[in-house]
Amino acid sequence: MEATKRAALCAVCALSPRKYKCPACESPYCSVECYKVHKGSSNCIPKPNTAAATSTGSPLDRRHDKDESAALRALLDNPHLRSLLTEVDGAQDKATAMRLAMQEPLFVEFADRCLSVVAPAEGERED
């Protein structure tokens, strides 16, 4: 039972529940402060397949990334979308600002494009 509790805690401070994973080594941490400590330590050893997965891939994967990047750039050229993004970024209540922005079809399209880059739909990419 005690080992299970420790496993659910931040690997840096061991006080708070883990919320995030280091993108390089997948070590769990709880906050930006703990992440900075972790990244500055010698404990962050990137997993070999993590670096390879981001720098290589099939030509089909790279073509998909270029297509999505071009589509995102085209969307970001839209002044209305840029205005919406600025409003969300500057809002005091980000959750409400996001809910309002998601009422705009242009913003939804942008969000969908972003999600398709970071988390492709099943079957969209073959890994």
User: Which phi and psi (to 5°) does residue 54 adopt?
Assistant: -85, -25
Q: Is 120:57 a contact under the CB 8 Å cutoff?
A: no
Angle at 30 between CA 28 and CA 36, to 5 degrees: 85
Ranges of beta strands (E only) in 3-112 are 20-21, 28-29
pLDDT in tens, the chain (127 residues): 455 555 688 888 999 888 888 888 888 888 888 888 888 888 788 777 544 444 445 444 555 566 667 888 888 889 999 999 999 999 999 999 999 999 999 999 998 888 877 776 665 544 4
Please tell me the pTM assigned to this model: 0.46
Q: Which residue from 73, 69, 97, 71 is spatially nearest to 84, judged by alpha carbons?
A: 97
